Amino acid sequence: MRQILIVDDDDTLREVLVEYFESMGYGVMEASNGRIALEKQMQHPADLVITDLIMPEENGLETILEFQRRYPSLKIIAMTGSGHFGALEDLNTATILGADRTFSKPFHLEDMLRAVKELLNDSAS
């Protein structure tokens, strides 16, 4: 079973994503910030990370940089709220740092699922 690590300080969105991807047949772990996400990745490696960019302790850009350093083949999707100042710049920076896909919030779950399947070469999930 493919494993996804969802990193977001927004409890509601994180829970929605966890439930959605579990219902689609993925194993899902969750973290409320980048520091916790890195700890979870060391304990139970995920195949793909979906991370918010604006978070406390260790933000998403720092998290992407660290994941790329430690796990260069790990697939990463970055997301951020389209309403905050600099969101587009943050998404562009995330791509430069190694994010494979980016999403502005709000997004459609089906679009996120399509990106996950493409990145994991997963047509049957």
Q: What is the pLDDT of residues 26-65, one digit of tens each?
A: 999 999 999 999 999 999 999 999 999 988 877 889 999 9
Q: What is the pLDDT of residue 125?
A: 45
* CB within 8 Å of 85: residues ≥ 6 apart: none
Q: What is the pLDDT of residue 55?
A: 86
CATH class of the domain whose range is 3-119: alpha beta
Which whole number is the average pLDDT over 96-124?
92
